[in-house]
Structure 1
Amino acid sequence: MNVAGPGPRERLLEAAERLTYTAGANVGVGALLKEANVARRSLYQHFGGKDALIAELLRDTARKDLDAYRSAMESAGDDPQARVLAIFDYLDEVVSSPGFRGCRYLGTDLALAGPDHPAHRVTRDYRRGLHDLVQHEMQRLAHPDPADAAEQILLLIEGTLATGATRPTARPAQTARRITNTLLDK
């Protein structure tokens, strides 16, 4: 029995996930095609071009990443404060893992200067989804301004990911967790 491997579409997405994370969103089409072992025609047939491939990749990773945040929060139980703090416990593992190179979404936004690139909509949606997860917990805590508190925590999350890429031994998630705990105790 011959089991077929991933098709060209899946190979392109897998290659884009690897290469855009290690080399950035401006990785060349040639490198993507070579890594995926597909012809140029496959890229255009499945995605219409590199921009749409990058946007689709980000949609896929955003779903996975938001699910990982949800899972971390769910593992902390039902207490909203513990659920928010669990985000930073999760991030401590993420930024300490071998090969961590920072936030895929921030890296993409910085690399793709054109404001109309379809990837920017995906990164905004991802951040909105993360903000909504945190805001929900802040509402459960009866915080007087849950949207602003969520925005502050989102800044700490993004700061953790950025610092984790440049100074991983600083353990930025632990610092951000302490700051968040202070914010939540007010």
Structure 2
Amino acid sequence: MKKSYIIGIVLAVVVVVVAVVLTGRYLQRRTPLLIQGTVECTTYKASSKVPGRIESMKVREGERVTKGQLLYTLSTPELNAKLLQAEALRSAAEALDKQAVTGARKQQKEAALNLWKKAQAGLELAEKTYERVKNLYDAGVVPAQKLDEARANYEAMKATELAARAQSDLVDDGASKEDKEAAAAKVRQAQGAVDEV
């Protein structure tokens, strides 16, 4: 019986100690202090991602506001100017892209073709002149100097005709794939500048 009596006393002491500890913690816990009243403020500090001047206030003093409510509007002439610049850049890039996709104008194609025809006629004349001078040289009528000049002119006209044909082909083919891709990339870059502003 003494043993159960001792266990009962020990158990009672443990319960009392736990109760004292829990009561102490409960009493030490602080509750928030709530105060009601009015706050008067003479200075408003507002900021935005964009620099500018306040154009109009949308709320009055003492008015209750909610999160996300429009409080004021900004005047941003510098930002408006940047937007105009970015839009002009986009328009120029779109025009270059359209030009790359469309290719050369009809007049440019005709001009390149006419230059090629002119070079062909010049080549034909240079070839005939070279043949005539060569025949005269072979007959001993003209000196070697004249033959060399006629040959040089003929070779120069060959190169001129090849260059004119290449230019005509280039105008007919239009912009290369890389040029078209570069023009399209410039449009995307300009659109990014507009979106950023």
TM-score normalised by structure 1 residue count:
0.20
**Larger Rg over CA atoms:** 2
Query: Is the strand fraction higher in 1 or 2?
Result: 2
Higher relative contact order (CA 8 A, sep 6+): 2
TM-score normalised by structure 2 residue count:
0.19
Query: Is the helix fraction higher in 1 or 2?
Result: 1
